[in-house]
Amino acid sequence: MPQRVLILGGGFGGISVARTLERLREPLDVTLVSRDNYGLFTPMLPEVSTGGIETRHIVQPIRAELRKTRFVLGEIESVDLARKCVRVHHPLLGVPSELCYDHLVLALGAVATTFGLPGVEERALQLKTLDDGIRLRNELIRMFELAEVAAGENERRRLLCFTIVGGGFTGVEAAGEVQEFVDSVASFYPGLRPSWVRVILLEGGPRLLPELPDSFGISARAMLQHRGVEVVTGDQVARADASGILLKSGRHIDCQLIVWSAGSRPTPQVRDLPVEHARNGAVVVEADLSVSSHPGVWALGDCAQVPKPDGGWYPPTAQHAIRQAPLLARNIVATVHGRPTKAFVYTSLGMMASLGHRQGVAEIMRGRMLTGFPAWFLWRTYYLLQLPGLDRKVRVALDWTLNLLFRRDIARLRISGELSPDREQAVAKEKPLPT
């Protein structure tokens, strides 16, 4: 009987592990389970959320990518490490099933966390999934439509104030994209003054892009501010309500739309496992990506804490998940054949952030900084090449070309999961915070 490899999660890490196992042509029985039947190219999600790229162009159907792996569309409920079985239910039918394994690969990524701050979970939009991207775009347009008919300048200003919380890569890119979007569509609304629109980027720490040396955050801040983004650092959200956000300093931001990108942690299915966890709940793995307490269990990507050879941990990025995957696949094969495994060692290629309006900031060649148009161009070229599938590459390149010629689309499509009119009214009637 071939050994059964069960991969949980169809993101960067999970798909790459399956693809490598296919290439290795070992007689293994490989199954990948994920709740969506596509892989999402998250680096371009901020652009999808503002209509810069068409939604479907950043997803790749898993069944088209993996030819030999069995794909199971499933919501993973729990993992029983003792019995070596995973409980899954079909997201469309709700039918439960159980999948058992000899080798288990945890590649479930991370979910956003709002740290239990009052009102934030209910009101803030996330930017993690494709649904989030579509919802954010709809909400941005909805705010313009509401502002167009709102009574009084104060209410219009409140509706047109967009606050992005979190000054890491995602927050910085989202702020740049939202600013580009509002600049592009404001003229469709002649009743609204451009000066009423505010894009605020709020970071709790002293500077933006804390993952990079100081100069990168300073540079990103200057570029965003130059384009009209208000950057607030060193202040944190205390709570959110119908009127906006209250900061720990006591300052109040009157706004309706909040985008939360200030923290993430592994999914509950990973956090609940009886293995060693890092402070954020990630599974602590050995250098070869195995979970030492449970032979045959492996983890990578955002749900794993992977040690660096010289101390510390590798950051949770797509770049790292993609590099960890081939090594993990080879280590499974080595274990099956009774050979020694290898440690994950990787030097990052650098980090990049697109700030919209053809501006960017990039770390290249170990700490050297590139800013402005060259950094933005590098970002685009690199990620276009990374996008899976030639058809997707062509479609995104076309989207970008069309953006040079036309303004962003403001058609607001109704989607399921939006607030119902009743809920909207309930939210609107809530008592605002005392300021």
Ligand X SMILES: Cc1cc2nc3c(=O)[nH]c(=O)nc-3n(C[C@H](O)[C@H](O)[C@H](O)COP(=O)(O)OP(=O)(O)OC[C@H]3O[C@@H](n4cnc5c(N)ncnc54)[C@H](O)[C@@H]3O)c2cc1C
Q: Is 36 in the site for ligand X (CB under 6 A)?
A: yes
Tell me 117's DSSP state.
-
Positions in 74-103 near ligand X (CB under 6 A)? 75-76
| Tokens found for residue 170 | 């995602």
Q: Are strands 59-61 and 38-40 parallel, antiparallel or unpaired?
A: antiparallel
- What gap in Å lies between CA 235 and CA 217, rounded to an integer? 16
- What gap in Å lies between CA 75 and CA 5, rounded to an integer? 18
Q: Which residues contact 381 (CB under 8 A, 6 or more apart)?
A: none
> CA–CA distance from 299 to each of 98, 111, 320, 358 (Å)?
20, 16, 12, 37
- What gap in Å lies between CA 20 and CA 174, rounded to an integer? 32
Pick between residue 173 and residue 183 the one whose CB is nearest to ligand X.
173
Positions in 101-160 near ligand X (CB under 6 A)? 107-109, 127-128
CB of 43 to ligand X, least distance (A): 3
Q: Which stretch binds ligand X (CB under 6 A): 35-43, 95-103, 219-227, 387-395?
A: 35-43
Q: Catalytic: 155?
A: no
Pick between residue 73 and residue 146 the one whose CB is nearest to ligand X.
73
In the complex, residue closest to ligand X by CB: 11
- What gap in Å lies between CA 353 and CA 216, rounded to an integer? 10
Count other C-beta atoms under 10 Å from residue 229's C-beta: 23
Cβ-count burial 301-325 (b if 16+ within 10 Å, e if not): bbbbbbeeeeeeebebbbbbbbbbb
Catalytic pick among 173, 177, 180, 203 = 173
Q: Is 181 in the site for ligand X (CB under 6 A)?
A: no
Pick between residue 12 and residue 181 the one whose CB is nearest to ligand X.
12
Pick between residue 18 and residue 246 the one whose CB is nearest to ligand X.
18
Q: Is 46 in the site for ligand X (CB under 6 A)?
A: yes
Count of residues in contact with ligand X, rule CB under 6 A: 32
Q: Is 34 in the site for ligand X (CB under 6 A)?
A: yes
Dihedral over Cα of 195, 197, 202, 208: its sign:
negative
CB of 332 to ligand X, least distance (A): 16
Q: Is 14 in the site for ligand X (CB under 6 A)?
A: yes
Interface pattern 258-277 for ligand X (x via CB under 6 A): ---------x-x--------
Q: Are strands 103-106 and 96-100 parallel, antiparallel or unpaired?
A: unpaired
CB of 153 to ligand X, least distance (A): 33
Q: Is 321 in the site for ligand X (CB under 6 A)?
A: yes
Q: Is 170 in the site for ligand X (CB under 6 A)?
A: yes
Pick between residue 14 and residue 244 the one whose CB is nearest to ligand X.
14
CB of 175 to ligand X, least distance (A): 12
Pick between residue 39 and residue 244 the one whose CB is nearest to ligand X.
39
Q: Which of 52, 167, 171, 316 is the binder for ligand X (CB under 6 A)?
A: 316
Tell me 186's DSSP state.
G
Pick between residue 132 and residue 241 the one whose CB is nearest to ligand X.
132
Q: Which stretch binds ligand X (CB under 6 A): 39-47, 209-217, 248-256, 329-337?
A: 39-47
Q: Which stretch binds ligand X (CB under 6 A): 30-38, 195-203, 288-296, 403-411?
A: 30-38
Q: Annotate 187-206 with DSSP letters as a single string.
A: GG-TTS-GGG-EEEEEESSS
Let me know the angle formed at the C-alpha of 236 by 234 and 239, rounded to the nearest 5 degrees.
Answer: 165
Pick between residue 108 and residue 140 the one whose CB is nearest to ligand X.
108
Q: Which stretch binds ligand X (CB under 6 A): 3-11, 146-154, 203-211, 357-365?
A: 3-11
Contacts 24+ apart (CB under 8 A), 141-148: 141/185, 141/410, 141/411, 141/412, 142/412, 143/256, 143/257, 144/185, 144/188, 144/189, 144/192, 144/410, 145/412, 146/256, 147/189, 147/192, 147/196, 148/189, 148/191, 148/192
- What gap in Å lies between CA 244 and CA 123, rounded to an integer? 9
CB of 318 to ligand X, least distance (A): 4
Q: Which residues lie near ligand X (CB under 6 A)?
A: 9-14, 34-36, 42-43, 45-46, 75-76, 107-109, 127-128, 169-170, 267, 269, 301-303, 316-319, 321
Name the residues annotated as catalytic.
173
